[in-house]
Structure 1
Amino acid sequence: MDRSARQKGASFHLFPPIEPFDRRMMDVGDGHQIYVEQCGARDGIPVIVLHGGPGGGTSPFMRRFFDPKIYRIVLFDQRGCGRSKPSGSVESNTTWDLVADIERIREAFEIERWIVFGGSWGATLSLIYAISHPDRAAALALRGVFLATKAELDWFYEGGVSAFWPDLWDEFVGLLPMEERGEVIKNYHGHIHSGSYGEEVKYARAWTVWENALAAISSNGRVGPTPSDYALSFAKLESHYFINGAFLECDDWIIKNADRIAHIPGVIVQGRFDMICPPSSAYRLSKAWPKSDLRLIGQAGHALSEAGIMSELLTVMEDFADMRTELAL
Structure 2
Amino acid sequence: MSTHSLPLASELVSDTALFPPAVYLIGAPKCGTTALGHYLSEHPEVAFSSPKEPHYFSHDLNGLCLCDDAAQYRAIFPSDPAARVMMEGSVWYLYSEAAISEILKARPDARFIVMLRNPVKMLVSLHRQLIHALDENVEDFRTAWQLSEARAAGKDIPRGCRAPLTLLYHRTAAFGEMMARLYARVPQERVLVLFQEEMRADTAGTYRRTLEFLGLPDDGRTDFTPVNEAKKARSKLVRFMVSRAGPAREVVSGPIKRALGVQSLGLVKKMDALNNTKLGKLEVPPDLADEIARHYAEDMLQLQDLLGRDLAKLGWPMPARPSPRAAAGR
Q: TM-score, normalised by structure 1?
A: 0.29
Structure number with bigger Rg: 2
TM-score (norm 2): 0.29
